[in-house]
Amino acid sequence: MGCFLCTGESSMDRKMERKNKNNINNDRRRRDNHSQQVQDTPRSNPRDKIVKEDSKVVNHSDMEHTTNDVPDSSNSSCDGDTKDVKARKFTFSELVAATQNFKDEYFLGEGGFGKVYKGHLQDTGEVVAIKQLDRNGCQGIREFIVEVLTLGTADHPNLVKLVGYCAEGEQRLLVYEYMSHGSLEDHLHDLRPNVKRLDWNTRMMIAAGAAKGLEYLHDKMKPPIISRDLKSSNILLGDGYHPKLSDFGLAKVGPSGDQTHVSTRVMGTYGYCAPDYAMTGQLTFKSDIYSFGVCLLEIITGRRAIDNRRCAAEQNLVAWAKPLFRDRKKFHQMADPALEGQYPVRGLYQALAIAAMCVQEQPNMRPVIAHIVTALNYLASQIYDPNIHPGKNPASRRGKNEEEECRHQAY
């Protein structure tokens, strides 16, 4: 997924679209009158995923004293002061040496922040992943600082470790622990040749671990954090496919006290963004729950959140799944054909029930993360052994045939 303004396709979104069309002239007049202000509104350029920052250079002293670049810093202990940040400050020359001047063979991938390289720290020998900010990309200085302040103070086995950062001259780089198995997205949708597909037990273990990471952000961090960009490409897998959440450049401090939500510009990734948040700009912890539900559906079905290669009725994962949720006899149609029927039927039903609750259109109908963790921990503990429960579901082959037919129709 690339960088997009968060939008949706639900009935709530269609209502909002009609409302926006009726008020477009008023919106234009307001923008003309306030052209010098940054508007905190759900409407923005769809090419932007984040609020574009000015081109000023932020050095270490800026990191230690700025409050304006850190969202909601007035409500948190993360006020731009790095005294509590555990991450190491690197010089640019150290990271050049670690990557042999960002050698092509060390290139791992590229996202909204910039290019990512594998590196070896010369003084410790540690293998790391180094992310270099693209100044022309869709993320900027604000995301860099929020990432450092969020991960630099966090400590949980299901959150990726921020080893350090570099803010030297115009260079902005983030240094993470190296995750040997890449992202969940890689294993569900972009699997390399000769790499084994994830089995049912591994998928449930990944889902439970990701939920624990989100629980830490929502319930354990002080102040609590809303990820705002939870998706399969941001769930990284280490040794043994141990999952860790990553990429918190869009994170926001959640509501506290009598607050029910945080009003903010709508940002995220298309297909994962909660429809209520996309419509109103009111961010809550339940916004993350919706995104998690989409990820869980990806884990169960092997389908992408948005797949334009499919026929129109199946391009949006949630829209495709919702009619099937109503009929348990059709649940087997939702299992990833790559599983080849090797899954517990009861476990499939329970996992789909959790996903269905998470992607409810009304946020108050979605469960809290603690309840999701409890349910997924139970599912992950129920180890499925195909030797004890043999017999491939005949629907697995039919699912492949239906998928191939649908793809053919799309072209």
Hey, what amino acid is at 117? Y
Cα(356)–Cα(352) distance, integer angstroms: 6
Number of neighbouring beta carbons within 10 Å of residue 66: 17
Q: Which two tokens stand for residue 133?
A: 């900010």
Distances (CA, A) of 261 to 53, 215, 220, 231, 252: 24, 18, 18, 21, 11
Residues of the binding site for ATP: 131
Residues 6+ apart with CB under 8 A from 222: 77
Tell me how long the chain is. 411
**258 Cβ contact partners less than 8 Å away, ≥ 6 residues apart:** none
Is residue 161 within 8 Å of 151, Cβ to Cβ? Answer: yes
Cβ(119)–Cβ(95) under 8 Å?
Answer: yes
The secondary structure of 231-274 as a DSSP string is -GGGEEE-GGG-EEE---TT-EEPP-TT---EE----B-TTTS-
Q: How many other CB atoms are found less than 10 A from the CB of residue 123? A: 8
Catalytic positions, written as ranges: 229
